[in-house]
Structure 1
């Protein structure tokens, strides 16, 4: 490096000489720029001065002349108006004043301007026309005054004729046409039209004279007509004179205006010529300015170019010096990563750079050795601090070595409660009270302490706030272990919800199937019991036992409805229910059902209407009251409350009614609360509870479009709230069923039922009502009987006929082949369940099992008459 520097010596004054030469060139260039600019400004000033002195005064005078000529042309037509005598003098004075001003301006114009415009010649002709126009205007006003007098007399004559119109028409029928002819005189615009009107008037007057109509008129009226028509200056003569004067004045006005317009046109042309001269001078000024601008721009461009080149050179020199200074400063701080700039320069800066290169190479190797260690340390620290999971490292004795910030946060501990070397037992003791561990699997990550306590490789920690943390532990080669904890609360809740839904779905299918089969059995039982009740020869004790059996069968039917409610397949009989009235009506029943030491309180608002099945709602309230009573024991307070909710509630938008049942019992433990709505879950002793009470209530509420929420605190009691939609005008209400007189009427029924007991019972019930019944077990047999000539007024078919037979298919087949034949479908499951089928006929009539004699009687009564 030293050899290269000594072999290429550089003069010490090289940079200074270059910079001085550049600044000298810039000085002379700026001096030239100023001189060219001053010369251009002087030329422009001379050109503008000549333009102002030569063209502008003449242009201003011509423009003023044109303005006064246009004013004369605007005033001249007013002289021809005979109805403006007051303004005539002013108009004449204004025209004379304008004419004098125009003459004065014409004299001040240059000789060539007056020769081009001919102002004096046109003004002479205009003044002569003006004098003649004034004379004609005076004559026209005099004639117009006489003519106006005739018009007033004519108007007066018309008024007199209007008063005596009927009498005048009788004695002088020609008078009215004559008067109309005289009225047309003011509208005549030429002599020909006046001649025609005058001839018509004379003819009418002669006719009146021949007929003696003038003698029949009043004297004053005859005199008025003769004055208007026969005088030398009669109305026609006056109008003819006015029309002639108007024509002459129009010609003079046209001549006067023509002179004025010709002078205006010549003035406009002269102004255009002056503008052309002004444009020519303006172009000369612009050319001079552009020439000056081009010179200035050229000199400025040369100056800018030289300045840019000089600035670039100075900038490169300054950058090289600054770069070398920056690299030297970083080298002094121990940074050797920067390359040395300006090594190739052949001046003082290059010598400085080459000398610095020697010192930079001495530290480069040292820095390379330390870079690897720093990068690895930063990477490990970033990963450790940015983990979403908690991480802790323990030594072979269980002491805490290191941890990330997420570890104490996930455990619910303060960050400053941990310290290096903290024993494992102390760490577990510092965890929130109530936390419990659950080991998953039998694998051990390691063993701690003299007691060889096992550290499970996989375990879960349940915290009091409901969160679940999953721990994974792995042993380290030199002893101790690493533990990673992860929050799995959301995943566990989702898994629990899925299991709950699966369990409810399976149980719903099971209970729905059981209810369907049990309804078929109940139909056979209830049907035969009703048939026995219809007999009149039964003894009293047998009738009592029969009523008891019928009541038990009715309870069994209610049990199937409860099962269907649990499975959410129960048909609801909706009606408008006022919850406040219902609670007060149930007060006695609730007080009788709960313990004697429990006080029942009811608080409701007015008009809390809902559209639900009242019986199911009463059963739900009674079930909740019994559960609260059993929880409180012998003493306590049971509060039933109903209120209206308009804003926030679990049903979303719309108005809702909230029914709450609150007790002050011991409350529900937190670990039990999430499971109380599960079917078959109970905390009672074996045989004292089925676990279906709350689940059935929940099923009914959900089926009714509502929501049920349970909240409880240990020692504070339990609150169960039911939200139901407020009743709407379109609520579907259950039909009001009335007892139908039996027998109904003779009819033929085709019964299709695969269950023999049900088929026989239904056939007997229909026979009891007076119907002739033909029963078949399958769909094919029913169709074959109809095709063979069988006749029926109605078909009553089960939906599920078994062995591949289908009542819905039978319905659709009969609708196509016999659309007039009524078909009624029946089933132990409600129509809401069958409506899930894609081929379910929505308009089909449906009869739910178990049906009674009254149900069949209503069905038969609705058949059309034969």
Structure 2
């Protein structure tokens, strides 16, 4: 037995929503089906249009084109003088007629009702042969007239040669010739008849006067033109008649062609109307499809709006339940949850919310947890490394952590709740100076004081505190204070390192240019000294200048070593020789108030370390010693052999010491001076990285560092390095010296040299040096000129190119191109910078000879061997 309707379960919210979505899906499917059917109908209409109308339009357009060609070609046949061209035009006309017959639609068909062209084609077929015959006859008559005109011209030439004789003896014959010539040009039959009657009268006067007796040959020639079987008048008359008939036939053909063109145009217009009707049909089908789609779309919108309204009612119920639950979560359990009586899911949810009434105790536990979190936050607040202070809208201090007081240098009892900004600033021990970092404003206090987003506080113990302020939603701000003293010291050291890097680059550039000057100075002095033989005073002066230039060259090499930027590489170094070479640079670094001395070494001391690092270590120690002697003093450099320290693995050691007579170091600080960032100088005057970097270099090189110092008794820093065996000079650089005998330098006979140098002084000096060696030298200033010179003059004994050629190119690039084009050509490179400075170039060839600037005659002679 079925239950009564009252006992049936009402549809659930889920069922209603599912039904709504299914209905929307059905409407969407109907939209798709209607759209597909409409597109299929449009496709069928377009296929019919393409199958029936488009071919007809194409045929009509081709027919119009053929008719236009026929109308253009038919009249031109009358102007064709060549028989071959006439036959070609005739064949073309016949082909066009055949094409027009082929393209003309069947008059029995419906499509050809407006294009009946057979009558016009038959008329053209009938008139065209007549036109061809008449035009052929006209061409024959034109040829005959041309022949008669030629004869008349010969007679005229004869009369012109005997003008006086003929004018006296037969003047009437001259008039006869003139009338005959005029007849050849007659434009119509009336003009021709008048000329013929005048000619007959003139002939009567000729016979009456006996002029034909006096000029029998002239009279006979004119008689043949005027009275022969084909007289001038007869031929001209036939030509005019043929011309009139030709014009008539051409006009007739043009009329037929125009008639055909009109019919073709009307046929195309009819096809356009048919195309328009088919287009209207397609448009009606499209409109029908659009109407169906719009109807279904309206139905879908209606269903969607009904679904939205239903969901809105459900959401209002849920919002009411949410408000009650919010009060319940806040501890208010007096509210009643609505909709608990509903039999659907909303009612189930409302009844489930009733459970929350039993969870008030859980809220208490949550409150306890929040209290624990507050204590944790307070603990973090009090133990932060940064100082934090909170100010109200009037600028009064309302909260702070202990670090805030510590950074300000105030005792915790000094700060109190409610302190104003003015009182807080007075609590900081003077001198204290504020500096604004950011122009942004965090907020303003109640009395209008601007609070910057970022600011710095410089206090008496040379500490720098950075403050960052953020506004609070209810007024006031939070300030975070951080100590920047250490970071600023590191930044100062970084800035100092950058300055040193720029100084190194500048030093390298100046030394490179100075080497170019030294090439000209030393080269010309070397060439000048032999010429001063026997002149002792001049020779001595030139010798002093040469020695001074040599010392400048050695100084330049030291500057280049200071400024070099190549990767660190260990090499064998004679430390005593290196100290002697560095002495002038150490003296410059020490200043005028410091006496620098180099103790002599008992034997050569060799080590294997990076030379640049060792030189920097000596300069670092020099600067530390100078700083310890502000009023001047003595700085002593020495090197000796010694037994290795226990921490060293070497069998022998070299001890390099730097001793000063400065203030010394306190014993309690000796163990700390090599620690990074440790310094006894004032804040901002030193980074504390000098000795630590020296110590790190020595330890990485397998050695150790020792410091001996007494307060007021000076300081001695010793660098203990593993000793190494001696090493001869590097082979890749060409180092040659003049023979002791002072005789001529040996070289290859007949040597030819090409010098590539952009500096004119260096270029001229090198040419003079090679000439002194007996070589034939040429010079260019750029890569392009060098390649062009080799192309024009062939290979030479040697190409010597500077690496830095300015804007004109690079000697390294020149070497690559010369090697590719002339593999047998020898090439050497020269530069005022060491070869390590150029090894980063991607085309650098380490096997090429390298000549450092400045070079001398012996070095150039060695290149020519």
TM-score by length of 1: 0.42
TM-score by length of 2: 0.42
